[in-house]
Each structure stands twice: as structure tokens, then as C-alpha cells.
Structure 1
């Protein structure tokens, strides 16, 4: 159990800790000279039948409240110190408010300097303290009159603290390791040492950890917990870690950093949270209000974005977004405090709800429902509530990371709720059974209706299908859902189309025979410079109109693409050319390459090479700047080959073969409309397909 002091300056906090532990926590020369605490002080007290108690002594001066906050965030038990001669003072109230906002529920009150006042004064101060405590989380805590001069009450105070330690429930160590750094220094012969309170999880000697938000990686050479050598430290301990690694120095790690498990390194600069504004505030908190934010041992500048329609009224709770001046390492559920920018008063505080808050659409009903679900503290309840609101799925790994819990524990929660797993690449998503059933039946009926109305088409555009469903999943989740159905054999992905497994589009026997004659002319060595429609018609002695019609039908079926007017390339050839330009781009300075480089690779004429690149420009596979082009990596799969085979890792392999996703594509000026067709004048979808 970690005991932290609180109270006004010169009320005897440091003297009381020295009387209880025998340790003087004022270690700085300036502290000795001025007789006041300036920085955090630390002491330890062995307890028979319980773990060693750690004491964090905080400064009481109003100028050092930010330092007090750095120590208060990790304490379990507050020792509120009130001098009997002064009574309740400004920092007494501010420290009490901070303790309340941090949710600290256990503590004791020491009325110091009891030897300087009569008994009736002690009674008067005790009544005043109880009145201040009544509405706060500390509630009705014991009040003991003490004197560090005469020794009055010190033994009783020590006994109360020890009894509280024996009743204290140790922190759960099942989460992932996080330690809030409050000191960083060098010990000769040892190296860099950081100290702080372990907020969650465990750490052992030889573990590799990250320093967040900087991202430095270190190895734990040795550990001291509660001022004693140890092989490991766990949640609730005061720990000193001897860290070694590239770039690890006392100046590279600062108060406010978080030493954590490497997988937790994901700093954030935009957080949605609850906020309770203290009733002592004179005015409501409006939009973009500047504050100093205190979390664990960190302090950063921030702006408040009120998510409700009205300003945050003093004495009330509301949802806000915190836009930070610099990123911090945090976890969902962590408490925070905000103070004014001049560091003169505490304004309020609350809990973090979402570490990946959006910069836009942050006040929509869907977003408010998500935040309401995030207010549930228990992970299993929050997980279940999130499944019931938009977007109706949960990223298991992200959920576990942002709450600093093991991924296995989050997966167990998902399994206990009977969720449907949606896996894509390295991402595991979960959807509730009833939502999946609704999505599945809606998708099936939509495809079935489309096939009835468009029997000559190979399938429905993937993006068109996604946008038309009642349960409209975001693209990553929709892609994962389609892969689930492919695995089950219910649907088939054919390029940019999706169809029911039982649906098949075929050419007439006469068209198939003609296609078998045309296809060899488009492939082989001439695949990058195939003949045009009129040339094919002449070679095969087939009417030009019939040849054009069949090639357009082949385009609708995903067999070919019309790269330029009446110039069709086989799908495989287009995919091969995409791979070629990607290779050229990767080897060019800054990724920019010329049309001549591409022409030389495909051994084509300049005119045809330019037409091919113009085709890729229109579909944003390449980005043009003058005579130079660069590949858009996010569009490379637009013309790739999509198969329905399942790779060894369980992922459907392949990519899109066509960007057709709308029924309103046209072939260009003065030319026939090609329903759901795709040719040199078609515009690609504005949203990237799966």
C-alpha cells in the first residue's frame, strides 16, 4: 500500500512522516535551507504481517501543486495533515478536491501541532474537517490529534495506518506493466535508474520495456521494490528500475514518462474523457478552453473541447475531448486533473474514456453512444456495450492495449459473450451474434435480389454492396466479414465483385467460341501491345461491332480492361503492368519515374505506353506531376488478382481486379453506355475498394 500526504504548507507533513518512519524526506539542499518541501519525498515503513508501506510526501505550497499531483496519482491511502492552530487552509481544500477527483477512498486525518492549542480548538478543527470531507470520496475517515514534539498520538496514528494496510486488498497484477516515472537519475557504477509507482502489471529482471512517449527501448538490469532488492515489481509497488539500452540516460527519461510493456507504446494526443468541473469555479468551461492537464506523473498543456451543446457548468459532469500539446502514455480508465494555465487553481478532473478520439464527427449520436459505453469500468461490461453501438464490432487487440490488459483476457471476454470473430491480416475483430445474423441475412438477400435483376453480370460491386446494407460496416470490418463468408463457401470474390457461390455468369456458346479466338491475340508476347478492336476484327474476319460487343462483355466479366478507346488488355496483363510500375517506382529517387522508363520495361511504343499510364492516372494508381509519376501504394491492389483460396494464415489472398463499383459508369463522349462497364474513360470509385 502506498501512503501519500496531503495538506497546506507548513502543516507538518514532512515532520509527521519522519516521526512515523524515521526518514527525512526533504533531500534537497534548498528544502533544508527554506524548511519547506519542494519536490516529492519518499520513505518506507516495515509492517509485521504486511508488506512494506511506501510513503510519498508531497509539497504543500500552492506553487508546487503540480508536483503534489505527480505523487498523488499513484497513492492508495491519503494521510491528510491539518495543523490544529491554522485549521483548514486553501491548499487543504485544493488537496482534498484533488484526492476526490482521483477517486482515492481510503485515508486518515492527522491534526498536527496538537501541543500548541487547547482541547476545544482540536474539537473545533475536527468538526470543520469532517464537514469538508462529508461530500467527498474519503467520507468519514478517522481523525487523530498528534504532536511530533511531544509524541502525542503518533503511536495511534501508526496503528491505524498499519491496520488499514492489513485490510488493504493488493492490486491485481494481471494487467500489462506500466510505471509512471517521477524521478530519473544516475548512480555511479549502476547507470540510469528511474523510480515511480507501478500502475498495473508486473515487471521482472531482464524484461525488455519501452519508455513512452519517446519510444526508447530498454532492458531491466535490476529492480528495487519498496526500497529493497527484488527480482520483480508488481502493481501498487514503489519501484526503482535500473535500465540499460541505446539512448537510455537520465536526461532521456523524465518525470511524466511511462515505462511500460513494449506493446503498450501507443502515445496519444487526443482523448475523449469525462470531466467534472469543481463547484468552486466561477464560470462555465467553454469550447477550446486552455488548461494544464495532469495525468499520473505527467503534465502537459491541453485544450478542452466540450462535447455537449452547452458549456461545462461548475459542479456538473460532462463529456469532453482533450486535445494535448504533446502526446502522453495513458490507459482507458486513468484519472486526470486539469488546472488553469497560470497554475493557481484546480478546475476539475475525470477519467479517460477513449485514447483514439476522432478529430471530426465527435458530437454525433453514434459517438455519444460509444462514449456512454466506455464509461463502464469493468472490461467485460464495456466490451458488451461497445458491441451494441456503432460500428457494432470491437478490435480485440486495440481494446486490450488501451486498457493495459492482456490480449488473452480480452479474447476470453469476447468468447464468453459468444461473439463472431472477424479476422483480417493481423487484426482480430469481434461482432455480437445478433448483429452478425442481421448483417448476414441482409447481405444474402441483397445479393440474391441483385442476381435476379442482373443475371448477365458476374456480381455486385463490393463498395456498392457495403454501402447498401442496413448494417454498414467500415471497410476493414466489412473485408473481414466477407472473408468469413468466403471461408464458409457462401460467397465468391471475383475481382471487385462479390457474388453468391451458386451464381455464375457465362457467355453464349457462340460468344465463348469467339472469345477463345480473341483471347490468344491479347495475351502471350503481345500482351503489353495487343491489337485494337478493328485489327482483331480484320484478323478474325468478324464484324467490328460484334468484336467490340464481346470485348465489352469480357470487360464486364472481369476478363479484360479497356485501357484506351477500343484497346483492350487482358486482366492478367494489367495486373502485371501494375507490378512493373511499382517496381520501377520503388527503385526511383523519391518514387518518381518517367514514361520512358515504363516504355522500356514493357517494350512498347511511346504512344501506347502513355495511354497505359494515363489509364492508371485516371484510376489514381499513379500520381502525375508534369512528366513524372509516382505510385499510390494504397491503390496497388485495384487491379490485382483476387482468388478465393485461403492462405496458410487463414487470410483470403489476392486483390481487386476492377474498380467497378457503381452502376453509372459510362464509356465516354459519343459512345454507348456500358452498364457497370469499365473502360478508358470511366472514373474510379471515390472510396478505395477492399
Structure 2
């Protein structure tokens, strides 16, 4: 993929026609006026067999927005300057855009070499380009009219394209739409430059929150089953009308990008003068207004007029239409923190200045966030740092789980001090105390001898308050002699065992609740079964009561309790047998 940059009078479109044999100017008005107004597209096969696509961008200053929509996704630029005209203000503007985008691969073509000596313009243009991201480009003098220099231009293109790094075919797709139209019998068709990833017929893509399906796929005018970056593609879409899609929309791998209207960026170079309060942001083929808030130095916060699918590491352009200035900016955060305190903007700028890129930057960002869902973190554009704790869908900053685990015993002890009859805090209480974003993170910070039990964080043997323990011990001593002589309600109250104390004893497995007001000792099920085993089968409730040596107040709920646990089976005639 290459983009042509330069003034229309430099013979840019004519050069594309001579190189590819195709007419890049799509509109009749363009051909009539000899002026490129909108993006043009052409392609050809080089002698090596390499297929190359060309995006022909407008040169006139009135169409700078269209020009920016064409260069945002291409990796290489063909800078066109005419031998009889030389470097122009619009050439400088286009090169400034390429420089702001950080484009490093390219080729200089001095056209109309049949009309003037190309050497002076060649030397001047190369010198001007040397101070930009393009550096000292290979240069060729060419005439589209006579064909002189075209073989040399083709050979130079081969070398430039061969030196490009290979895009990642497994990367998520973000296809910025630059055209949308309908074809009779096919429906909605969109075109764009596939800068990374792979597209296949049948793929389901996200378009502004809705799912669309790729019915068919073309690359460079030919139907294909699969297109691999970098490639010019046309997609026949199912699930969207042409009126619902336009230039600047993006087709995305589902859940792979974060849509955001608030982001932090750092300018590629310091700015002379002040930044505008409002600017126009360009990325891919998208154009959106933005409010600009300088933080400090080259750090800037942007609030977009509408959300865009952005990732950390994206390069975007800030255009100040008032002074025709274009600035490059690198996206540093697509989910930035709020700036509420005095001095927060300067502090945030310092944080961004110190934050490295790549894996180290990911670790620093995760440390600041503490907890983040893995899918959200990856969608921001970060790799998952080594040493990260994973808890279900959550990422926990390295070392943070151990730090929080050290605080859990104190939280549990404090809770039991305030509520001595409860074995420990519910998970929601611990989540709040540790400021965890979700209760499902609690298991990651609970360590032995603490454990999770019935929705609480408890010690292995939480114990009962001393007074309650003495009362329970007294009840159990009585039950040891008569295991089915459940104490009356008045006896329980007299012993100091109210509803809360009894519930605590049951949770501590020191008493068994058979029914309201009926409490027996642990192991009662085995004792009851043993007594019943001596009865003829089936047996009546009265026979069971006599075997247990208790009253109906205890025998009736105890029999039902044994039924519910599958120890006994109640028969249609209300007799029972052991299971």
C-alpha cells in the first residue's frame, strides 16, 4: 500500500495512471477540472509479482480533510514534486502530515522531467525531506507523458516495499471505512485499507455496537475468500444499510477495541505557541471534533465529540484549522483517570512522561489501576504483564494480592470484635473494606488459617464468645445423658441463649437445629438411627418416640428432619422405615 502526496499540478494523478494503467480520479468533475477532489484508488502488479495498491489523495488545501482520510492507514508514501514547479506550500503541508504520522517508508518522484531539468528540484526536495520522519528518501525523476524513468520508479518501489515490516496477520481487525455504496443485487459495500489482521468471508464484525457479517470480499478488484494485511479491500456487508454507514466508521473484531471519547495523548513534538481549545482529530479515515486540555509539557487530554475505537499506541493527528497546523500525537490512555484535585493535571502529565511503552508500560498502567478486567485491559492495547495474578476475568497488579491478603486478618478480627456471635464478615463486607471492584476477587486475598465458608471469611475454628460457650457446654452436658431431651425455650433463655447465640452455636457446629425451638447435639442423626434400628420395620411415630425416649414436641420435627435427610422413608400409611 502506498499513498501519493503532492500538488495536483505536479502530475500526481497522471503518474498514477502511467504506473498502474488505471484512472484514479473517480468523479467526472475531477477529470473535467484536472483536480483531485476525493480519494482515488488504483493498483498494479510489479515485475516481481508483488501487488501494490495506490491511494491517490487530493492536493488542494480545500480538500485536506479528504487527504487525511486517505493517508491514515497506509505504510508508505510516494511524494510527488514537479520539475517545472518545485516544492510548494501544499507539498509542505502534505509532508508535514506524513511527518506527524511518523511515516518512515517512502519514495520521492520528481515528475515532468521532460519539461524541466529535474536535478535542482530533486536535490531541494530531498534536503527538505531529510528533516522529517521520511528521512533521505530514494528519489527518481520521471515523465508520465514519455514514460522516461518509469522502470526506475517501479524498481525503486520494489525495494521500498520489500523493506517494510510485515504486519501481524493475527492482530484484531480495525478497518476504517473510506467509501460506502450499494451494488445492485449485492447490497451494501464498503472499502478501506486493512492495516493489520485478516479478513475472511463470513466474518462477523462490530460496527458501532451492532454486528454485521461479511457476505463477500474483494481485494484489488478480485473476489477473495481471505485478505491479509496490508491490503485494499471491499466488503459486501449483511446487516447494515448504506445509509447507516459512512466514511470514518470502523469495522472491528468484536470486543478487541475500546470505544472512548476521553483519552490522554502526548504530542510527538513540543508546540510553538498555545494549543487551541478545540481541534479536529484525524485517525484512519475518521474525523471528529475535540476539546483540548493541555496537562503539562507535551501531555494533552482530549474529549471527542463522539467515541472512536482507539488503543494505546495509536498515532493520531490534531489539526488546528485556524492556523493550518497539524500535530502528531500518540495515544497513551483510552480510559484516563478523572482530574479532580488541584495540581492533578500536572501530576498526570508527569505520570505519562515516566510511563514507558510496551510491557513495562502495561505493568505501570496495571499498577495504577490495581484491578482491571482482562478483556478491557487487552482492548485498551496493553499486553498482559508477566507476574500478573489472574482471578477469573480479572487481572490483579503483581504483588497486590499479597499486600491485601496481609490486611484480611485485621478486617476479620475487627468484624468479630463488633459482632462476636458471627464467625466472620460476609464477602461483601471484606470487598468493601479492601476496596475490591467485585466480590469474586475476595478468594484471591483469603489465606490460611482463614477460609471461605457459607459466604463468609472465617477462621478454621472461629469459636464462640466465652459466655456463650459456657452456656452451650451446659446444654450439651445435659444432652450427653439424654440425647433427645431438647431443652425448653425457657431453659435456653435462662442459659443466656437467645436467637443470635443459638444461630452462632449452630454455625459453629456445636448444636444442631431440628426445628424452631428444638436444638440437639451434633451426631444426633447417628444416635437416632441406631435406636430405630432395633424396631420392627415399618414403625410408627409413637414407636420411634418411645425408642428415643422423648416427647412429641421433639419426636415430630425429629422424624421429619430424618426424612428430609434420607435417613428414614415415610410410607403412605404414615409409618416409616430406615432407608
TM-score for the superposition, normalised by structure 1: 0.64
Of the three residues 423, 431, 434, the one matched with 2:397 is 431
Is 1:295 matched up with 2:283?
A: yes
Q: 1:486 to 1:437 in 2, by over 3 A?
A: closer
Of the three residues 437, 441, 465, the one matched with 1:475 is 437
Q: 1:393 to 1:373 in 2, by over 3 A?
A: farther
Cα contact 1:180–1:199 (8 A) shared by 2: no
Of the three residues 364, 373, 378, the one matched with 1:385 is 364
**Which aligned pairs between 1:147-158 and structure 2 lie closer than 5 A?**
147-158=143-154
**Equivalences, count:** 494
Of the three residues 200, 204, 216, the one matched with 2:210 is 216
Cα contact 2:371–2:437 (8 A) shared by 1: no
Is 1:252 matched up with 2:244?
A: yes
Q: 1:24 to 1:456 in 2, by over 3 A?
A: same
CA-CA distance at 1:181 after TM superposition: 0.5
Cα contact 1:422–1:430 (8 A) shared by 2: yes
Is 1:23 matched up with 2:22?
A: yes
CA-CA distance at 1:457 after TM superposition: 6.3
Distance 1:278 1:175 in 2: 32
Q: 1:485 to 1:292 in 2, by over 3 A?
A: closer
- Superposed CA deviations along residues 573-615 of structure 1, whole A, max 9, x for unmatched, are xxxxxxxxxxxxxxxxxxxxxxxxxxxxxxxxxxxxxxxxxxx
**Which aligned pairs between 1:205-284 and structure 2 lie closer than 5 A?**
205-211=201-207, 213=208, 215-245=209-239, 248-264=240-256, 266-276=258-268, 281=272, 283-284=273-274
Equivalent residue, structure 1, for 2:306: 326
Cα contact 2:195–2:229 (8 A) shared by 1: yes
- Superposed CA deviations along residues 494-516 of structure 1, whole A, max 9, x for unmatched, are 76x64444433446146559999
Structure of larger gyration radius: 2
CA-CA distance at 1:179 after TM superposition: 0.9
**Which aligned pairs between 1:246-645 and structure 2 lie closer than 5 A?**
248-264=240-256, 266-276=258-268, 281=272, 283-285=273-275, 289-308=277-296, 318-341=298-321, 345-361=324-340, 363=344, 367=348, 371=352, 376=357, 378=358, 380-387=359-366, 389-403=367-381, 410=383, 413-414=384-385, 417-423=386-392, 427-432=393-398, 434-444=399-409, 447=412, 458-459=423-424, 474-476=436-438, 479-485=439-445, 490-492=450-452, 498-506=457-465, 508-509=468-469, 540=490
1:165 alignment partner, SS class: helix
Q: 1:555 to 1:455 in 2, by over 3 A?
A: closer
CA-CA distance at 1:223 after TM superposition: 0.8
TM-score for the superposition, normalised by structure 2: 0.76
Cα contact 1:386–1:394 (8 A) shared by 2: no
Cα contact 2:258–2:376 (8 A) shared by 1: no
Is 1:98 matched up with 2:97?
A: yes
Distance 1:488 1:172 in 2: 45
Cα contact 1:50–1:165 (8 A) shared by 2: no
CA-CA distance at 1:541 after TM superposition: 9.5
Cα contact 1:448–1:500 (8 A) shared by 2: no
Cα contact 1:257–1:329 (8 A) shared by 2: no
Of the three residues 136, 159, 171, the one matched with 2:167 is 171
Q: 1:557 to 1:255 in 2, by over 3 A?
A: farther
Equivalent residue, structure 2, for 1:607: none
- Superposed CA deviations along residues 505-530 of structure 1, whole A, max 9, x for unmatched, are 446146559999xxxxxxxxxxxxxx
Cα contact 2:265–2:333 (8 A) shared by 1: yes
Equivalent residue, structure 2, for 1:84: 83
Q: 1:552 to 1:131 in 2, by over 3 A?
A: same
Q: 1:276 to 1:16 in 2, by over 3 A?
A: same
Distance 1:201 1:220 in 2: 15
Distance 2:506 2:33 in 1: 82
CA RMSD across the alignment: 3.6
Cα contact 1:12–1:112 (8 A) shared by 2: yes
Cα contact 2:168–2:229 (8 A) shared by 1: yes
CA-CA distance at 1:337 after TM superposition: 0.7
Distance 2:238 2:397 in 1: 43
2:244 alignment partner, SS class: coil
CA-CA distance at 1:463 after TM superposition: 7.8
Distance 1:508 1:116 in 2: 107
CA-CA distance at 1:145 after TM superposition: 1.9
Q: 1:328 to 1:128 in 2, by over 3 A?
A: same
Distance 1:558 1:349 in 2: 68
Q: 1:170 to 1:277 in 2, by over 3 A?
A: closer
Q: 1:237 to 1:207 in 2, by over 3 A?
A: same
Q: 1:155 to 1:474 in 2, by over 3 A?
A: same
Distance 2:97 2:72 in 1: 9
Distance 2:469 2:371 in 1: 46
Distance 1:134 1:481 in 2: 54
Cα contact 1:366–1:390 (8 A) shared by 2: no
Of the three residues 182, 189, 195, the one matched with 2:185 is 189
Q: Which runs of 5+ in 2 are unaligned?
A: 477-488, 508-515, 517-579
Cα contact 1:337–1:346 (8 A) shared by 2: no
1:25 alignment partner, SS class: coil
Distance 2:448 2:212 in 1: 45
Q: 1:501 to 1:460 in 2, by over 3 A?
A: same
Cα contact 1:332–1:352 (8 A) shared by 2: yes
CA-CA distance at 1:264 after TM superposition: 3.3
Distance 1:201 1:488 in 2: 46
CA-CA distance at 1:401 after TM superposition: 2.0
Residues 332-341 or 127-136, more deviating? 127-136
Q: 1:420 to 1:37 in 2, by over 3 A?
A: same
